Amino acid sequence: METESKTSQPRPFSIKLWPPSQGTRLLLVERMANNLSTPTVFSRKYGLLGKEEANEKAKHIENVAFAAANEHHQNEPDGDGSSAVQLYAKESSKLMLEVLKKGPTKSIVDGEVLVAPKTTVFDISGGRRAFIEADEAEELLRPLAEEGNLYTKICFSNRSFGVGAANVAAPILSSIKDNLKEVDLSDFIAGRQESEALEVMKIFSTALEGSLLRFLNLSNNALGEKGVRAFGALLQSQKNLEELYLMNDGISEEAAQAVCELVPSTEKLKVLHFHNNMTGDEGAVAIAEVVKRSPLLEDFRCSSTRIGSEGGVVLAEALATCTELKKLDIRDNMFGEEAAIALSKALGGLPGLTEVYLSYLNLEDEGTIAICKALKESAPSLQVLEIAGNDISVKGARALSALLSSKDSLTSLNVSENELKDEGAILIGKVLEKGNPQLKELDMSTNSIRRAGAHAIAQAIASKPDFKLLNINSNFISEEGIDEVKSILKAGKNSIDVLGPLDENDPEGESEEGEASEEGEEHGEEEEPELESKLQHLNVDED
């Protein structure tokens, strides 16, 4: 009997990915429920779902996602179902994110299930930085359109709205504006052409006109005068504003004048931040008018705004009317001595100041002396003082030391990038060693300090158990001086850990008095007698 040989043909092998098995679907529900009931950044902001509610939500999400993916597979079959699986996963993730942002609808207290209050914050700033057009805006802003929502704060920062997206947002915002108290529209038109950006601003402004806000942030939008006026309807309608932020907005003299015209009487304003603009002297005059209309102002920031002496004088005079001021930040301007004198007169009438930032104002010694004398008499609870980069020498250091001697609440002092040298450092060190028990941070970097000054500063903080950070980098401290500082800190109530980096310290550097010191070291002389001599002959100016 003949047997016919046949070549065996392999069967075609394929994997069918859709639909998933019931076990797979149940496993997905379980994983989503665990994710929904596990503490995350979302739960800290919006609240944590209980396990029962998380399981209910997970089942609903899976059903919706499965239905969408199954419909896709039926309409566009691709053989193995891989595209349906991708849609299934994508839809599940999207719905989970929505549930997390809405927060819990139930809470459990002593075993009793209660209805949880709805969240009051709507924030889309945490997503990827990208353009938003109409379709995505409808999806993102859907919770705002839900009936009965209780949102009082919205944050659209870090997203760039086009005209289409703005037109989607406008009716929604108009419908909830009576409930809104805080609106953050910072950095919400990035990358748009000027014409489109201005149109978007006008749409939002009109939609929110008449709202009674306490907080408004329009920062990082390159407003200029056109942008400020595009927000005119919104700005003019605000009567209860307590906080206004216009930082990094390209606000020139003309734009500052527009702010002055459009922002109404601000009798309730407590916070005004106007950082990093190109305001200049004439613009400062306009901003000063806003300040004058804000008698309850507690926190004023007008740093990096190119204000010179003339504008500084006018602004200082306006600040004198803000007797409730607690925090003042006018760093990085060009005040000079005349504006510093005017500022000192204003500071003398502001007893509530707790934080004062006066770095890089070209104060020099005379301006520093005037300001220190004023603060000594007027700010009993001063906690933070920054006066870096003002060409302060030992002459100004005497007045600064006298100020410090009266400030037991001081927690942070920054006098970096000045010309204190050893004499100034020792003056300040002597005062800090005797008082200022709450001091936690001290920055004396870039002051041409050598071993003697470093010794005095280390001695000053060694007895302060709560001290956190000492910065003496970018000075001329010898290796022996560094070792000495470390030994003092180790022997004191804090550890060497409080000492900041020393990577830019120059042990070989020379200051005016340094050459003689180094020459003495070459002949085997000790530096300690020099230290003792300086400590004996330097006194704090109490006048």
Cβ atoms of 134 and 168 within 8 Å: the answer is yes
Per-residue pLDDT, 114: 47
CA 230 to chain centre: 26
Residue with tokens 């489109």: 196
Per-residue pLDDT, 135: 93
DSSP code for 117: P
Per-residue pLDDT, 325: 98
Residue 338 pLDDT > 50, yes or no?
yes
- C-alpha closest to that of 413 among 394, 430, 428, 393: 428
For strand 182-184 and strand 159-161, is the pairing parallel, antiparallel, or unpaired? unpaired
User: What is the average pLDDT across 78-96?
Assistant: 82
d(CA 237, CA 260): 14
Cβ atoms of 191 and 210 within 8 Å: the answer is no
Say which amino acid occupies 402.
A
Per-residue pLDDT, 38: 84
DSSP code for 214: S
Per-residue pLDDT, 513: 45
Q: How many CB atoms lie within 10 A of CB 466?
A: 11
d(CA 437, CA 93): 53
User: What is the average pLDDT across 448-469?
Assistant: 95
Alpha helices in 263-308 (DSSP H): 280-292
User: What is the average pLDDT across 152-164?
Assistant: 96
Residue 46 — pLDDT band, cuts 50, 70, 90? low
Residue 144 pLDDT > 70, yes or no?
yes
List residues bridging with 301 in a β-sheet.
273, 329
Per-residue pLDDT, 531: 47
Helix (H) or strand (E) holding 315: helix 309-319
Say which amino acid occupies 468.
K
Considering all CA atoms of the chain, what is the largest pairwise distance in Å, rounded to the nearest integer?
Answer: 129
User: What is the average pLDDT across 375-404?
Assistant: 97
d(CA 201, CA 4): 84
User: What is the average pLDDT across 422-437?
Assistant: 96
Residue 525 — pLDDT band, cuts 50, 70, 90? very low
Question: 79 versus 100: which is more confidently predicted?
Answer: 100
Per-residue pLDDT, 118: 61
Per-residue pLDDT, 85: 84
Question: 12 versus 482: which is more confidently predicted?
Answer: 482
Question: 365 versus 513: which is more confidently predicted?
Answer: 365
Q: Which of 66-75, 201-210, 230-239 has the lowest mean pLDDT?
A: 66-75
Question: 10 versus 178: which is more confidently predicted?
Answer: 178
Per-residue pLDDT, 106: 58
User: What is the average pLDDT across 160-177?
Assistant: 97
3-state secondary structure of 148: coil
Residue 120, token pair as written in the block: 């009051």
User: What is the average pLDDT across 490-501?
Assistant: 88
User: What is the average pLDDT across 177-200?
Assistant: 96
d(CA 360, CA 448): 18
User: What is the average pLDDT across 452-460?
Assistant: 97
Q: Which of 28-42, 59-73, 450-464 has the lowest mean pLDDT?
A: 28-42
**What percent of the chain shows pLDDT beyond 70?**
87
**What percent of the chain shows pLDDT beyond 90?**
67
Question: 213 versus 264: which is more confidently predicted?
Answer: 213
Q: Which of 289-298, 300-309, 421-430, 518-527 has the lowest mean pLDDT?
A: 518-527
Question: 372 versus 54: which is more confidently predicted?
Answer: 372
Buried b (16+ CB within 10 A) or exposed e, 375-412: bbebbeebbbbbbbbbebbbbbbbbbbbbbbbbeebbb
Residue 251 — pLDDT band, cuts 50, 70, 90? very high
- C-alpha closest to that of 382 among 347, 355, 346: 355
Per-residue pLDDT, 67: 85
Per-residue pLDDT, 292: 95
d(CA 324, CA 331): 20
303-334, pLDDT tens digit by residue?
A: 999 999 999 999 999 999 999 999 999 999 99
Per-residue pLDDT, 163: 97
Per-residue pLDDT, 50: 79
Residue 353 pLDDT > 50, yes or no?
yes
Residue 314, token pair as written in the block: 């006018």
Per-residue pLDDT, 443: 98
Predicted TM-score of the model (pTM): 0.76
Arithmetic mean of pLDDT over the chain? 87
Helix (H) or strand (E) holding 131: strand 130-132
Say which amino acid occupies 273.
H
User: What is the average pLDDT across 465-486?
Assistant: 96
Residue 405, token pair as written in the block: 């001697």
Spatial CB neighbours of 432, under 8 Å, sequence gap ≥ 6: 404, 439, 442, 457, 460, 461
User: What is the average pLDDT across 87-93?
Assistant: 86
Beta strands in 303-411 (DSSP E): 327-329, 355-357, 384-386
Question: 511 versus 428: which is more confidently predicted?
Answer: 428
Q: How many CB atoms lie within 10 A of CB 142?
A: 11
Per-residue pLDDT, 95: 86
Spatial CB neighbours of 497, under 8 Å, sequence gap ≥ 6: none
3-state secondary structure of 36: helix
Per-residue pLDDT, 63: 86
